[in-house]
Structure 1
Amino acid sequence: MGRVVAGRYVLLNRLGSGGMGHVWLAHDQRLACEVALKEIVFRDPAEAGPERESRVARARAEARHAAGLRGHPHVVTVHDVLEHDGLPWIVMEYVAGAVDLRDLVRTRGPLAPAECARIGLAVLDALTAGHERGVLHRDVKPANILLAPDRGGAPYGRVLLTDYGISVQPDTGEPRYTLASVLVGTAGYLAPERATGGTPTPAADLFSLGCTLYHAVEGVGPFERESHLAEITAVVMEEPRPALRAGALGPVLRSLLAKDPGQRPTAAEAEAALSRIVTPQAQADAYARTQTDLGSQPPWGVPPPPPPPPPPPDRPAPRGSRGPGEAYGFGPPPVVPDPAPPVRRRRRERSRVLRAVLAGVLGAVLALGGVWYAVAHLPEGGGGGGSGPPYGGGVGLSKALREGDCVLADWSGERFRGVPRLSLDPGCGGRAVPDGQVMALVEAASADEARRLGPARCEERTRELRDRLADVRALAVVPTEDGFRAAGRSTACLVLGANGPVYGPLGPHRALGSAFADTATMQKRDCLEVPSNRVARLVSCDVPHDEVVLGFTRLAADVPFGRAHAQSDPACGREVPPGDFGFDPSVYTAGSWTSEGHWKNGTHFVVCTVRKQNGGTMEGDGP
């Protein structure tokens, strides 16, 4: 942590590790954004020769193959491959809030067959795009499938295939970058023909996809054994263990896991089979029936003209409002003209029965929607049956959070690991040092909906503010089942310092004219009044001001705070040059602000600004 790679990327924290090395969350000092960096690691420092060369070549091949699929909605984007200390580093898209399928199953249990089919369709789409370019993945497994919030708020709606580290283009004569004695891949997910040394084909990737979906729906791999050798033997010699939870997905899994690659379905056949599970035929038929042309109906199916108007209780909800079932996915009942009064009476009776059934369903949802405090992807917890604090006893709050509340967060261990104990800071930086602030409240129809959608909605609601600050993260405080009403039926969306406190109010809660207690609350496009080198005040950009915040950079880990100011101006001029933002270099120059808080938490962030070279004020003459 703290290393600067290629003079540009600052390593923040390790996201994960694999056979090729480590994946880091990094800060791009030039573009002021977060990226993921894959680092090649050799466990033996003396490792050299053909194996070292092959692993370096594999990293370059991974970048090339994945970059060829740039822009595909289900492939993690690769931006660049660079050299640092003689080894390649791969610069990739950082997928915020992502969890891999292996960890999701481990923490939340096996997934429903329809959800597995949805994931399978996305991965199959990515594999097919690669196969059309002649690229085989060769390592499809749960750990290489990322699930992340989508734009609609679904917490696992986005599905991404990653890690093309051992992919190959067999038709091009491209080297495979492996020793003859080494079997490359993951035991238990290899196709039998690959385990026995056969040539990789698209059918082998489909076998691995079948193993992956089996793991997702059953919670264990189809050939999982006590050792890698036993797993490879099972792949070649034994049938997969019987699936107990797969349901409609079972036949698809059996076909994908056929030993003979010629007996496996094609990608198109697999797509059709998975699509039928995601959208069952009965549902598709029902949809088709609603599209029937009235002119094709038999005589007894045509309503007599003119139909009498339906009575007020049976009228549909106005456009833009919700009927009693719409909030839970049922939608308003169809409006059919009444042919005769007796039919209308029976329809009203059915309507009353339907409303009673819906009321029972809604009551069951509210009664069974037990949830607990959640941060991003924490596992589900149980809720008690009696009344309790809004977010559970572990959080420590007796009243619901409100927008603008400043909080202190007491983490029992590493930040953003586990559940913090929260308390309010009424002065928001007056006497205490707040860790963050409630920036939004997102309502939900039920506690279950809050648990499922609250974290993703908070990520979306706070994204713009987080993009304008240097070092913060979102955190969702989700009500428990018992505390759902006490929490105002809302999830509280916090923005907290990623590595330390924020020292004061954030975003729109800052008062114009107030002096900054720390640079942690400075954000991009802030206009500053600077009466002295030690004081900066937030002012409106419509009045004369001295500086404008453009972005952020970081100084090396070995720079002490006493020397930070001397190095920060040149660093900002190099990494966040005002000319990139349209400021005339002959008139304007780079400025900077540092504060001790970022040195105490080890991040060494610097706020980069622009100011006039002659020291004059800025108003109306910028870009």
Structure 2
Amino acid sequence: MGRIIAGRYRLLDQVGSGGMGHVWLAHDQRLDCDVALKEIRFRTMPEGNEEHESRIARARAEARHAAVLRGHPHVVTVHDVLEHEGLPWIVMEYVAGAEDLRAWLARRGPLAPAECARIGLAVLDALTAGHERGIMHRDVKPANILLAPDRTGTPGARILLTDYGISVQPDSPETRWTRTSILVGTAGYLAPERATGGPPTAAADLFSLGCTLYFGVEGHGPFDRDTDLAAITAVVLEEPPPPRRAGALRPVVEALLVKDPARRISAENTAAALARIITPEPHPPTRVDTGSQPPWAGLVTSDGPSAPGGAVGDRGSASPHAYTPTVMGSGSPAGDQGLAAPAAYAPTAQAPGAYTPTTPGPGAYTPPGQGFGPPGYGAPPTPPPGPGGRRRRRRPRALQAVAAVLLALGLTAGGVWYAMAHKAELPYGAEVGLSEPLQKGDCVLGDPAPWKVAGVPRLTLDPSCKALRPDGQVMALYKAPSFEIARRQGEDQCLERTKETAGRLAWNVRSMAVVPTREGFGATGGNVACLLVGKDGPVYGPLGGLRPYGMTFTDATQIQRGDCLGHVDGDARVNDHYELVACDKEHVGRVVDITHLTTYAPGEDPLDQANAQCEKDAPPEKHHYSPTTHWSHGLRSTGIWSNGTYLVVCSIERVDKALMPAVN
């Protein structure tokens, strides 16, 4: 942790590990965003070694294959592949709050068949997109399927296939780095034809998908054994135990686990079967036997005469006015989000060059007519009155109107109750009290003041960020992979992200991590807010890199080492008449040190005492300036001197008051 990769990516936390390397959460310092970095781990081997070259080639292939599927809603996006100190690294999309399927089941237990089918349909969609481009994944397993919140924060709504590390294009002219004598894949999830030396095919990926779905509903793989050799032997020679919890999913799983690839179910039929589990086909409408009618069948009710030959109230079965669901356009690919459960992730727009399915490929599933609501949704239109239809009685109409008003009032009251009952939790809990997630740059006030308590006090926002002299400011956000990691590592992560600014500030500050609650984790996007708060008093306004150029310093506590200062009209000797300016422009002075008075003489001029302290602690020659042309000017903190803290900021300026040249 803390290493800088390729001069750009700071490693923040290890979030995963596998046979080929580690996955890190990293911060892209150039774009100021978080990414995932996959480190291809080597055993001790010299550069130029065949295995060394193989690992680099695999990293490039993974990036290239995943990049082909860039923009697909169920594939983790790969941004770049690079080499650092002789090792390959892959820069990928960081999926906040994601858990792989194995970890998901470890926390929650086996999946319901319909939920497992939803996951399978999404993974199949990603696989089919790759197969249509000749890319075989070769390592479909629970650890390579990520479940993450969608934009609404619904856990597990996004489903992503990751790790194309051993994927291959069999017909590609690229160099093949996998030796034929080595099995590539995960024991227990390999297709039998692959375990016996056959080529990678789309059917082999489907077998691995079947093992994964089996794991999803049973909590263990169909060929789990004590050793890899035993697992591979079972894949080739043994039939899997029948899944006991699969329900409607069982025929699909068993059809995927057929050992002969020629007899294995196709991707198209798999998609159709999974879609039927997620959205069952409606039953045909029940028809009444009109040959056996009750004696009152022909009577006229207060609502008018019945249709000829029809039973009273029979207006919704085979009437020509019956509701007919709209048919969706053909060509929907396997795993189209229109088929998924309500929580499924459905992107609204795709970036240029994104994967856009057009016509169904060999494994695509085109659903039958599919309405925009569940089967039977919506009432059929009222049929026209029969011949010579009577004027309806007014009393039932009035009763209907009253009932409609009461129903509307009830629905409104119910909606208010529902909104109150389901009001979003305070993201940081009742103790902190904020109703919205903190953002970078937010200034806060504490009650009690942060310097009076050890933990996180109750916080309120200070929108002005200076008028109320805030107690602290959010300097960074740490996006944690899970609530547990946020709670365990939030404080250390925030300390790491704020220590550089804290070390340059004149005022004593401390890092504070505001960690969301488990319930509020999704609402914050998994972000821990990293604050700097005053140790002995307020911070007086924006801090560090969040201060805009041209701002006037209201107190020396806002100044930090390395700042370049400009004059504001008025007495140049007093610190609150300086402004922050860019160092690549001419400036009045440059802050070189921060110190304190060793002794304070109440009867003497405080400015003279500040200057004398800077001449002692930060003379010009110490910072490579000529003492004949420059002097060390002491800027005192008027705000905290009254509290007995005699802080002094030392700025090197020219004796003749001329401007200092720009610094590149």
The equivalent residue for 1:269 is 269
Change (3 A) 1:68 1:327: farther
The equivalent residue for 1:567 is none
The equivalent residue for 2:452 is 431
The equivalent residue for 2:73 is 73
Q: TM-score, normalised by structure 2?
A: 0.55
Distance 1:251 1:222 in 2: 15
Distance 2:104 2:411 in 1: 36
Question: Within 5 Å, which residues of 2 pair with 1:493-532?
Answer: 502-503=532-533, 514-515=540-541, 519=544, 522=546, 528-530=551-553
Instruction: Give 1:282 shift.
Output: 3.8
Question: Within 5 Å, which residues of 2 pair with 1:163-202?
Answer: 163-202=163-202
Q: Is the 8 A contact 1:438 1:494 kept in 2?
A: no
Distance 1:303 1:125 in 2: 57
Question: Within 5 Å, which residues of 2 pair with 1:589-600?
Answer: none
Q: Is the 8 A contact 2:437 2:524 kept in 1?
A: no
Question: Within 5 Å, which residues of 2 pair with 1:559-574?
Answer: none
Question: Within 5 Å, which residues of 2 pair with 1:84-483?
Answer: 84-282=84-282, 287-290=374-377, 294=381, 308-309=397-398, 310=400, 312-313=402-403, 315=405, 318=408, 324=414, 401=433, 403=435, 426-432=447-453, 434-435=455-456, 475-477=515-517
Q: Which amino acid aligns with 1:432?
A: V
Change (3 A) 1:405 1:16: closer
Instruction: Give 1:287 shift.
Output: 3.4
Instruction: Give 1:16 shift.
Output: 1.1
Residue by residue over 1:447-473, the C-alpha shift from the partner in whole angstroms, topping out at 9 and shown as x without a partner, is xxxxxxxx99xx9xxxxxx99x96798
Distance 2:276 2:86 in 1: 50
Q: Is the 8 A contact 2:513 2:530 kept in 1?
A: no
Q: Is the 8 A contact 1:5 1:11 kept in 2?
A: yes
Change (3 A) 1:279 1:496: closer
Distance 2:192 2:181 in 1: 17
Q: Which amino acid aligns with 2:113?
A: P
The equivalent residue for 2:41 is 41
Distance 2:208 2:241 in 1: 15
Distance 2:39 2:155 in 1: 28
Distance 1:132 1:277 in 2: 25
Q: Which amino acid aligns with 1:188?
A: G
SS of aligned partner of 2:216: helix
Residue by residue over 1:178-199, the C-alpha shift from the partner in whole angstroms, topping out at 9 and shown as x without a partner, is 1222100000011111111111
Instruction: Give 1:271 shift.
Output: 1.1
Q: Which amino acid aligns with 2:190?
A: L
Distance 2:67 2:249 in 1: 32
SS of aligned partner of 2:376: helix
The equivalent residue for 2:609 is none
The equivalent residue for 1:598 is none
SS of aligned partner of 1:128: helix
Distance 2:28 2:409 in 1: 46
SS of aligned partner of 2:194: helix
Q: TM-score, normalised by structure 1?
A: 0.59
Distance 1:236 1:299 in 2: 70
Residue by residue over 1:493-539, the C-alpha shift from the partner in whole angstroms, topping out at 9 and shown as x without a partner, is 7799959764369xxxx99x9346x759x58x7985435765259xx
SS of aligned partner of 1:160: strand
Q: Is the 8 A contact 1:20 1:41 kept in 2?
A: yes
SS of aligned partner of 1:171: coil
Instruction: Give 1:263 shift.
Output: 1.9
Q: Is the 8 A contact 2:252 2:273 kept in 1?
A: yes
Distance 2:279 2:5 in 1: 47
Instruction: Give 1:313 shift.
Output: 5.0
Q: Which amino acid aligns with 1:289?
A: G
Q: Is the 8 A contact 2:47 2:86 kept in 1?
A: no
The equivalent residue for 1:535 is 558
Distance 1:259 1:439 in 2: 63
Residue by residue over 1:174-219, the C-alpha shift from the partner in whole angstroms, topping out at 9 and shown as x without a partner, is 4442122210000001111111111111111111111111111110
Residue by residue over 1:131-170, the C-alpha shift from the partner in whole angstroms, topping out at 9 and shown as x without a partner, is 1111110000000011111012211101111000000001
Distance 1:78 1:403 in 2: 35
Which has the larger Rg?
A: 2
SS of aligned partner of 1:269: helix
Q: Is the 8 A contact 2:446 2:458 kept in 1?
A: no
Q: Is the 8 A contact 1:145 1:161 kept in 2?
A: yes
Gaps of 5+ in 1: 330-364, 367-371, 376-390, 392-396, 407-423, 441-454, 460-465, 480-489, 538-542, 550-561, 565-612, 616-623
Q: Is the 8 A contact 2:24 2:38 kept in 1?
A: yes
Instruction: Give 1:99 shift.
Output: 0.7
Distance 2:181 2:40 in 1: 21
Q: Which amino acid aligns with 2:21?
A: G
Distance 1:269 1:327 in 2: 45
Q: Which amino acid aligns with 1:104?
A: W
Q: Which amino acid aligns with 1:217?
A: V
Seq. identity, %: 51
Distance 1:432 1:174 in 2: 62
Q: Which amino acid aligns with 2:67?
A: A
Instruction: Give 1:94 shift.
Output: 0.7
Change (3 A) 1:91 1:288: same
Instruction: Give 1:400 shift.
Output: 8.8
Gaps of 5+ in 2: 284-369, 439-444, 462-481, 487-492, 499-511, 561-567, 570-577, 583-591, 595-657
Q: Is the 8 A contact 2:225 2:231 kept in 1?
A: yes
Distance 2:39 2:378 in 1: 54
Distance 2:391 2:134 in 1: 61
Change (3 A) 1:132 1:292: farther
Change (3 A) 1:272 1:45: same
Change (3 A) 1:426 1:270: same
SS of aligned partner of 2:451: coil
